[in-house]
């Protein structure tokens, strides 16, 4: 679990318009909901670029990116988290939307769909489009891009 848990001045998405108390409530709820896996989870507070090096490469069986879905934020998250997944592991995410205007147009567009597809094509991995705007990438030893809808 990696989350800054605070307002970010350079993030223009609805989730950033919370009070500090709300950020703490969300964090507490996430910890409570994952307590069953407390011995396996890693909890890091900070931006990806601030804390990702605390996770060794090839250390994770699974990671889910559910955070900053601006092009900048998602690019940083995906490029930094992917090496942390072991071969045979999975990297999932949210907001795999066919429209870039997932939120009101006063917010930055959501570009998860095109970037994730281009990324897996570049690294040679399959990506699966799942229901409810979810996606999952399998990290394979053989380079083999595929898009499965």
Residues 6+ apart with CB under 8 A from 54: 42, 44
Residue 3's nearest CA partner among 40, 31, 39 is: 31
Residue 13 token pair:
């998405």
Residue 67's nearest CA partner among 115, 14, 116 is: 14
Residue 30: which CATH number? 3.40.50.150
pLDDT of residue 18: 72
Name the residue range of residue 124's domain: 2-148
pLDDT of residue 106: 77
pLDDT of residue 15: 66
CB 97 within 8 A of CB 133: yes
pLDDT of residue 23: 81
- The 3-class SS string of 31-69 reads HHHCHHHCCCCCCEECCHHHHHHHCCCCCEEEEEECCCC
What does the pLDDT profile of the chain (149 residues) look like in tens digits?
A: 887 776 676 665 566 667 778 888 988 998 999 999 999 888 888 888 999 999 999 999 999 887 777 888 899 999 999 999 999 999 999 989 888 887 777 777 888 999 999 999 999 999 999 999 999 999 999 999 999 99
CA–CA separation, 95 and 66 (whole Å): 8
What pTM, to 2 d.p., does this model score?
0.84
Q: Looking at the 3D structure of the chain, how many domains does it have?
A: 1
pLDDT of residue 10: 67
pLDDT of residue 93: 93
CB 92 within 8 A of CB 135: yes
60-65 and 85-93: which strand pairing? parallel
């Amino acid at each position: 679990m990696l989350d800054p848990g605070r307002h970010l001045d350079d993030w223009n998405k609805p989730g950033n318009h919370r009070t500090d108390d709300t950020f703490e409530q969300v964090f507490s709820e996430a910890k409570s909901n994952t307590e069953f896996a407390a011995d396996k989870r890693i909890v890091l507070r900070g931006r990806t670029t601030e804390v990702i090096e605390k996770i060794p490469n090839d250390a994770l069986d699974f990671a889910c990116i559910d955070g900053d879905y601006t092009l900048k934020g998602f690019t940083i998250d995906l490029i930094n988290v992917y090496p942390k997944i072991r071969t045979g592991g999975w990297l999932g995410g949210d907001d795999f939307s066919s429209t870039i205007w997932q939120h009101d147009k006063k917010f930055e567009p959501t570009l998860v769909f095109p970037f994730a597809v281009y990324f897996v094509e570049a690294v040679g991995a399959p990506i699966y489009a799942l229901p409810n705007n979810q996606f999952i990438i399998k990290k394979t030893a053989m380079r083999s891009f595929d898009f499965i809808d």
